[in-house]
Structure 1
Amino acid sequence: MLDAYPPDPHLHSPVAADVERRRILNVVLADFGYDPALLDGGPLDLDRVLTIIRAAGGALVDWSDEGIAALLEVTTNNLAAVRAFTPDRFHGDLLFFSATLTRPELLQTVDTWLPYVDGRIDNRDIACRHERMMRPDAITEIGPILADHLATLARRPALTRAALPVRPAPPTTAGSGLLPAPAPAGGASY
């Protein structure tokens, strides 16, 4: 898993609209290399963000106004999805890659996964920011670790389907075509 975390009640709790708007604008600006402090004292609207981006240059300077507005909307929707999500418990080991150069005020640690993982968590620190985990310099470091891990797994005896934990089937509306039918009695559902 690449530097992803379950919802943090402190970071993802519902807040007043202006606080949420500042949170979203801070995330977008910081993730694209801008100083969120540039928002201090100014209005929290698209025009202000566009002014900051156009004056500072940087990664978003060539984006259209509509593209930046869409980015803010997607970020808003993503944060709402994170708040609504509760991960299931994972029955197995987790290979985790932590981005160690992420802003400290947003830093969660791999330990936030402890309530959700039954197995061992093998954390590997990668000296990059979260949004740069898929860049060539980080992948050059991640690739060999992942290849070695997969090779180790390949040498282990294979699990049979019978050895996998049974997960209850999701609720269903029989015959609706919207959800799968329930698993047969005694069968596994994945």
Structure 2
Amino acid sequence: LDQYPIDRSRPAPESQPDQQDALRIMLDFVGYDMDSLGDEPLEYAMVADVLRERQSVFANLDETAITALANVFANSRSLFGSFDPRPLDSDVLVIVAEPDETVPAAELAARVEQWRPFVTGKIEYQTVRCSHPHMMQPEPAAEIGRLIAEKLGTSK
């Protein structure tokens, strides 16, 4: 879902995600206006209130769990750099998050084609009108499910 291979030619980020990064990711995930945050550190209580108000899956995480989640983000980032997958002998459907449908089709196709070294079969893509963090919200998730069912020939 809207993910591309790691570009190993780019240097790894100098800093690892921390609790503030985790809090920001969670707010973005629930559609919070990120531009309204400013540069001040986020307070856990404010973020927890927003998550509860928006009935987020993250709403029940305490500060310790959020710190642990930040550690998972950091560990995942380090694993990406060392993982060297063998090619998948199959066709692939890439679901691309495209919130405003302004990216030209040729550019989307070029992004998806980044998977070519890792896939021996056909690579297709479909777009879903949302941002990446919002792909699992009800409407985009339903659209993604429909696209996958259609591709598998199981749509009703």
One-letter identity of the residue aligned with 1:58 = V
Question: Is the 8 Å Cα contact of residues 7 and 86 (structure 1) preserved in structure 2?
Answer: no
Name the structure 1 match of 2:87: 89
Shift of 1:115: 2.1
Choose the corresponding residue for 2:136, options 122, 134, 137. Answer: 134
Q: RMSD value over aligned CA atoms?
A: 3.5
- Aligned equivalents of 2:126, 2:37: Cα separation in 1: 33
2:20 matches 1:7: no
Unaligned runs of 5+ in 2: 52-57, 101-109
Shift of 1:9: 2.8
Alignment of 1:34-73 (within 5 A): 35=34, 40=39, 48-49=41-42, 51=43, 53-55=44-46, 57-59=49-51, 63-73=61-71
1:58 is paired with a residue of what secondary structure? helix
Question: Is the 8 Å Cα contact of residues 96 and 122 (structure 1) preserved in structure 2?
Answer: yes
Name the structure 1 match of 2:107: none
Name the structure 2 match of 1:112: 114
Question: Is the 8 Å Cα contact of residues 133 and 139 (structure 1) preserved in structure 2?
Answer: yes
1:32 is paired with a residue of what secondary structure? helix
One-letter identity of the residue aligned with 1:145 = L
Cα offsets for 1:86-145 (capped at 9, x unmatched): 22212221111111239xxxxx93232122222221100011222332332112212222
TM-score, with length taken from structure 2: 0.65
User: Percent of pairs identical after alignment?
Assistant: 26
- Aligned equivalents of 1:27, 1:110: Cα separation in 2: 27
Cα offsets for 1:50-96 (capped at 9, x unmatched): x2x43465226764221221111111111112122122212221111
Larger mean Cα displacement after TM superposition, 115-124 or 134-143:
134-143
1:109 is paired with a residue of what secondary structure? helix
2:135 matches 1:150: no
Name the structure 2 match of 1:124: 126
Higher relative contact order (CA 8 A, sep 6+): 2
Question: Is the 8 Å Cα contact of residues 18 and 71 (structure 2) preserved in structure 1?
Answer: no
Alignment coverage as a number of residue pairs: 135
